Every structure is written in structure tokens, then in C-alpha cells.
Amino acid sequence: MADKRCRICGGILREVLDLGRQPVSNAFVRLEDAPKVPFFRLAIGRCDSCAMVQQLETVPPNEMYRADYPYRASGSLMIRRHFEGVAREIVETRPGGEGGFVVEIGSNDGVMLKTLAAAGVRHLGVDPAASADDVAREHGVNVRTDFFNAETAADVYAEYGHANLIFSANTFSHISYLDSIFRGIDTLLAADGLFVFEDRSLADILRHNYFDQIYDEHIYFFSVVSVKAMAAHFGFELVDVEHLPLHGGSIRYTVARKGVREPSAAVAEFVAQEEADGLLGSDVFVRFAADIDRVKADLVSLLRDLQADGRRVVGYGATSRSATVLNYCGIGPDLLPMVCDSTAEKQGCVTPGSMIPVCPTADFSNPYPDYALLFAWNHAEEIMAKEQSFQDAGGKWIVYVPKVHIA
Ligand code: TYD
Ligand code: ZN
């Protein structure tokens, strides 16, 4: 078989982890449509040349992001607060001054841009998910329902002129054709403009065994080392990095045109830390694979033991990540009869591949189960506080990362 090539630089990809056959992670469909959900091989490799860790297969975007794509960023208070903070900072610093123009790639339901809209900042969100865009428009956000790429960027430039800031959060890792994106950014970004993007951090995924961050939509697993190389490859420069607590550990990358800004000391510090963490070696992935197998064995045996004891267990949070856990561990409705989730679009559907019914969170207390398996572990604090009466009633939370434990 021909070598797989890096999507960024064309270097050779070496496989570092294989999680087997997996369904499209956001394919929450009615039970009768479940057999139509597409499957693919979920495996990642690292580029020999630029160190970018990435999927070995490519799922066609139209399989993953249908018009009814159910993800809503505003579903979490923590996420909402984070993006309101990002937006407030933009409103205060006004990139480009009074007439400055801000573009968000992957604006989802407008969670960030609505604050800019309310403050009268010239802006545009670009997002292919039509139903999320409608929600954003209801909040007064200016949206173009489209994939961002070199062509749409040229269109946006023709209509609005240069962007002083291009922002994107948790979207960049979802896009395979980053060359086209960077060409688009090159067309659209003002000479002194900044491109800022946030995404999950590979170092945190490896450190905390967050293997469920690996699913179809996450094509890239960024590190500072690989983003620095990627920015340079496309003629830009990584000028700043900042760690964020979101999604179990994320990094905000600030990219500028080459030579426009002196890179901050943080860039070199993060690179040194990643090298010290062994991110460029292979041992770290061997250990990762062993830790993942331990979670699988422990979780399945815990669920079986609880079932044998007559305990009722349900899932909490029908996350995209849960697809990897459920399918990798082979957990179905026999071991976990339902997963509760606050997203209306997922309720009444079944989880992809594992076919577990998704129910409204109101069903969680009706009656409370003995145990709840928390898939939305990144929202643990918020959810446990919201469901305090579950614990008061003697209920217990099962968390599976970094290893299976009762929280
Ligand atoms: P999310 O963190 O967006 O993860 P992923 O990117 O893996 O999909 O998913 C959180 C899910 O949990 C989402 O479907 C909404 C649900 N949820 C609740 O049901 N209740 C809550 O209080 C919160 C915060 C989330
Ligand atoms: Zn590469």
C-alpha cells in the first residue's frame, strides 16, 4: 500500500494509533436509519517532516456535516462564557479601529459573534451548518452558510474588504484542506491582521488519556511544534500561544504574516515543553495505546458487574467523543440502555454505531439511575452541579478518563 502523505507538507505519515472501525460521530439518526450510518477506519499517524498528528483516512465532509449537524456551542455555560470573553476582548481592542472587520470561520450558533453584533462591530461568520446559522441570525449575527476556503474568502474580500482579525475555534482541526484555508486567509487578512485559532492540545490529550478526542471530525491534533511548522509552510508565522482550560486543554494560536510581529517567548517555551513531554517520539503513543486498552477493559467489566448486581446505569452527554468510547469498547443498549442529552436535535435518535437511545435530560431524574457514565467529562463541574440532587439521592458518576473511576 502506498505511504499515506501529510495533508500539510506532503511528508510521510507513520501510523501511531489504530482505534478500528468507527461510525461518523455526529450521525445521530432515528433507529430505522441507523444501518445507513457510514463507518471508516479511525487511525492516526504523525508526519515525519512537520510532526503534524492527523487521521490516516478522510471522511468526506458532507458525511460529517449535514444541514442538520446537531452540535451547538451554546449548550454549555462554560463555553458560552469563554466565547463571550473572547468577544468582549475584541470589542474592547477593536482590531482595525472603528471600521475594523472580524471574520469567524465556523461561527456555529453565533455564540461568539452575537456580542460583536450587539456592539456594532463589522463582522461575518462563515459556517456550512445551515440550522446552526439560523440560530446565529436570530441573534443578529451576519452569517454566510458556506465552507470557508480560498474561493469563498475571495468572495468575502470582494464584498467586505480586508479582515483585521480572523478567528476560529475548534474548527480548524476539522478541515482537511488547510492549504485552501490559508490561501483564503492570505487573500482576506489585512497586512497587519491576525489570525487567531483555538483547538484541543495534543499534549493534553496524551497527558490525560483523552483518547475520545479522536473521532472522525478531528482530522488534526495540533501541537505548538506542528502549528509553527504549518504556519511557516503556508508563509505565515506563529507569534503567540496561550493555554486554555477548555475541552480538557486547548491552545490559542496567534498567527501573523511573516515578519510582522516578533514571536513571544511563550512559543519557544511551549516547544521546549512538548519536546520534554516526548511528543516527537513514539514511546508516548505506545503508552497511550496501552492506557486506552486498560480503559476499555475496566469500563466494560465495571458495566457488566453493575448489571450483574442489578444496578441501573445510564450515559450522560451524547457527545461526539462518546462515539469513540462506545464503539471502541463495544458498549450498546444491553449495557447502557440510554444516554441523556440536552440537545433537542439529538433526542429521539440513537447514538451512532452503538444504537443507544438519546433521551432528554428530564428523563435522567425519572427515576434517577444508580450510576451515570459521564461522556461530557469536559463539562463535569457544570453538569454535576446541575444534577446535585442525583448525588444527593445516592447516585454516582462514572468517569473513564484518565482512567475508569467513580467521581
Ligand atoms: P461537547 O462538549 O460539545 O462535546 P463533543 O465535542 O464531543 O460533542 O458535548 C457536550 C454534550 O453534552 C452536548 O451534546 C450537550 C450535552 N450537555 C448536556 O446534556 N448537559 C449539559 O449540562 C452540558 C453542559 C452538555
Ligand atoms: Zn507534514
Question: Are 56 and 4 spatial neighbours (Cβ–Cβ below 8 Å)?
Answer: yes
- Measured in angstroms, how far is the CA atom of residue 73 from the centroid of ligand 1? 9
* pLDDT confidence band for 172 (50 / 70 / 90): very high
Does the reported pTM lie above 0.75?
yes
Average pLDDT of the chain is 96
Question: Are 175 and 99 spatial neighbours (Cβ–Cβ below 8 Å)?
Answer: no
Residue 73 has pLDDT above 90, yes or no: no
pLDDT digits (tens, 9 = 90+) for 308-325: 999 999 999 999 999 999
Q: Whose CA is closest to atom 24 on ligand 1?
A: 76
- Our answer on whether the CB atom of 199 is closer than 6 Å to any ligand 1 atom is no
- Region 216-235: what's the mean pLDDT? 97
- Region 259-273: what's the mean pLDDT? 97
Q: Is 14 exposed, middle or buried (0-12, 13-18, 19+ CB in 10 A)?
A: middle
pLDDT digits (tens, 9 = 90+) for 27-43: 999 999 999 999 999 99
Q: Which residue has the higher pLDDT, 68 or 172?
A: 172
CA dist 63 and 41 (Å) reads 14
Residue 242 has pLDDT above 90, yes or no: yes
Least confident of 158-167, 296-305, 376-385: 376-385
* pLDDT confidence band for 69 (50 / 70 / 90): confident
Which uninterrupted H or E stretch holds 319? none
CA dist 378 and 374 (Å) reads 9
- Region 114-135: what's the mean pLDDT? 95
Which of the listed residues 24, 64, 76 should we mutate to test ligand 1's pocket, taking the one with most ligand atoms within 8 A of CB? 76
- Region 54-58: what's the mean pLDDT? 94
